[in-house]
Structure 1
Amino acid sequence: MYTKTILLITSMRPTQWPKNIVVFTAFFFSINEGWNFTDSSDVFIKFIQVVIVFLFFCFLSGALYILNDIKDVDFDRNHPLKRFRPIADKQISKNLGIIFSSSIILLLVCISYVMNRDLAYCLLVYSIITLLYSFTLKKIVILDVFIIAVGFVIRVIAGAIILGVPISIWLYLCTGLGALILAFSKRRVELILGGDQSLEYRSVFKYYSLRMIDYFIWLVSASLVLSYSIYSYSASNLPDNRFMLITIPLAIFGIFRFLFLLRNGKVKVQPEDIFFRDKILLLTIVIWVTTSISILYLYRG
């Protein structure tokens, strides 16, 4: 029983859970108007609420990973790395995986419904589009990447819902564009590593080429820079003194640094890992976050 539990948790891919940290977006960017600093318990309660949503998405995405592995089990058994996954390696039966993951999804939706009805809708929509992606949409060129980006935006929306704070539409757009860059980067790395055998792992690769993916990445990156610049200047929840414009050079440098690492083969199959492996990029992110929070706190309304 203990072994099966460990294998089920492994199948939920906990190494992918840090992606769900985007649910904290609304928490940090609402400092200027959503936090009540006269009541320390208010900030703590908001933080706990977002942590709960973060955990919800960790377990939900994990359960959906299991269903995806069940769907792709035949392909995974021919993959040099994925064939070692518990379901592909027949360490866990398909029936056990279906029962376990379905129970988690149902439980999370029910609990979230009690907490906040709109939050439950977010979890439900996220589950539906992820399942559609696993069974059909990942075979449709470009749409496969857009669905991944939508999943990140839903996480941000969920974080805003549980806090009851509005955030700028430009911040949602920045989230989606950032996710598109990561998704296209993942496709790029997979295409390079897979070579002529790429089609055996993803049928959609017959429509992609490195030149096309590079073009998309540069186009989306330019759109992200523009969107973040507009957000920093025009978002209604930011300080009126426009000091958030100071963070634009940091954001641009971070994006360019990522693109540099991508072109030089430093970005791996999980592109987001580079944020922790590259010291310069990590330092840039830390400075950007610290600067943004400081501006929002010091010049809050």
Structure 2
Amino acid sequence: MRPILLALRPAYWLKNALVFVPLLQGRGTQQGTMLLALGAVVAFSLAASSAYVLNDVLDVGSDRQHPVKRHRPFASGALDLRTGLLFAAGLAGGATLAGVSLAPRAAGPLAAYLVLSSLYSLGLKHVFLADVFTLGALYTLRIVAGGVATGAPVSNALVIASVALFAALAIGKRLVELRQLPPGRDRWPGRPYHNGHRKYLRQLAVVAGCASLVSVLVAELVWRG
């Protein structure tokens, strides 16, 4: 049971609280609205776990070469890969069913999340910069889903701010990974970044962070206006 829970990463479900962001600017905490938002959270939690499982199954080769990731359930052999693929498909199906049943208007963003997260696992994570902006988009889809599910407004400025912010955070994570490289290694297996990219990534993180801040200010002005 423990390997399954580790593969699902339930602690990461907290990220799905982003679904509630539009309510801060929209319709408050009416009971019906909150139930729709909670339904979207359930659906995105299942979808996220599906993405984590699929990603770990496809990353098993590179994870086994990593000092920390080699202890993940699939890399360590605690769970077999075939079970992982079936599990990922079942979770995706469960997410779809939960979305249609509990937050039907969020079905579009949920479907986009499932497709984009699969594309990330299948190849986008290996493409320079495409990986970090894909992650930014995946986080942002949670916010969009919250707005669509509850009818709360989500401005274009908020979408841009979210993509830029989470892309900047993803770039920061890549920089941390590069600093953790052992002596004699230039990159981690499966990552498109090497030590020569550090300066560029730092600059891009600052630009993305500033873009996010400006977009937040614009979104605030639009909301107050």
TM-score (norm 2): 0.91
Q: Name 2:197's counterpart in structure 1.
A: 209
Q: Name 1:50's counterpart in structure 2.
A: 37
Q: Name 2:23's counterpart in structure 1.
A: 27
Q: Are the structure 2 counterparts of residues 190 and 159 from structure 1 closer, same or farther at C-alpha, using a change threshold of 3 Å?
A: same
1:70 to 57, 61, 64: 57
Asked if residue 153 in structure 1 is aligned to residue 140 in structure 2, the reply is: yes
Q: Distance between the aligned counterparts of 1:57 and 1:116, measured in 2?
A: 11
> Aligned to 1:91, what secondary structure does the other structure show?
coil
Supply the AA of the counterpart residue of 2:37. V
Q: Are the structure 2 counterparts of residues 153 and 202 from structure 1 closer, same or farther at C-alpha, using a change threshold of 3 Å?
A: same
> What stretches of structure 2 of length at least 5 have no aligned partner?
none
Shift of 1:118: 4.1
Asked if residue 18 in structure 1 is aligned to residue 14 in structure 2, the reply is: yes
Asked if residue 95 in structure 1 is aligned to residue 82 in structure 2, the reply is: yes
2:214 to 188, 210, 226: 226
Q: Distance between the aligned counterparts of 1:174 and 1:200, measured in 2?
A: 29
**Given that residues 13 and 65 in structure 1 are in contact (C-alpha distance below 8 angstroms), is that contact kept between their aligned partners in structure 2?**
yes
**Given that residues 136 and 167 in structure 2 are in contact (C-alpha distance below 8 angstroms), is that contact kept between their aligned partners in structure 1?**
yes
> What stretches of structure 1 of length at least 5 have no aligned partner?
36-41, 241-301
Q: Are the structure 2 counterparts of residues 190 and 74 from structure 1 closer, same or farther at C-alpha, using a change threshold of 3 Å?
A: same
Q: Which runs of 4+ in 1 moved over 6 A?
A: none
Shift of 1:207: 8.2
2:4 to 3, 8, 16: 8
Q: Name 1:189's counterpart in structure 2.
A: 176
> Aligned to 1:87, what secondary structure does the other structure show?
helix
Q: Distance between the aligned counterparts of 1:208 and 1:221, measured in 2?
A: 21
RMSD over aligned Cα, in angstroms?
Answer: 1.9
Aligned ranges 1:131-150 → 2 under 5 Å = 131-150=118-137
Q: Distance between the aligned counterparts of 2:39 and 2:82, measured in 1?
A: 29
Q: Are the structure 2 counterparts of residues 50 and 84 from structure 1 closer, same or farther at C-alpha, using a change threshold of 3 Å?
A: same
Supply the AA of the counterpart residue of 1:109. T
Q: Name 1:299's counterpart in structure 2.
A: none
State percent identity of aligned pairs.
Answer: 23
> Aligned to 2:73, what secondary structure does the other structure show?
coil
1:274-299 deviation digits (Å, cap 9, x = unpaired): xxxxxxxxxxxxxxxxxxxxxxxxxx
Q: Distance between the aligned counterparts of 1:123 and 1:90, measured in 2?
A: 31
Aligned length: 224
1:67-124 deviation digits (Å, cap 9, x = unpaired): 1111011111111001111111111111111112211111221332244544222222
Shift of 1:189: 0.3
| Structure having the higher Rg | 1
Q: Distance between the aligned counterparts of 1:149 and 1:223, measured in 2?
A: 13
Q: Distance between the aligned counterparts of 2:196 and 2:172, measured in 1?
A: 12
Shift of 1:197: 2.9
> Aligned to 1:9, what secondary structure does the other structure show?
helix
> Aligned to 2:153, what secondary structure does the other structure show?
coil
Q: Distance between the aligned counterparts of 1:125 and 1:230, measured in 2?
A: 26
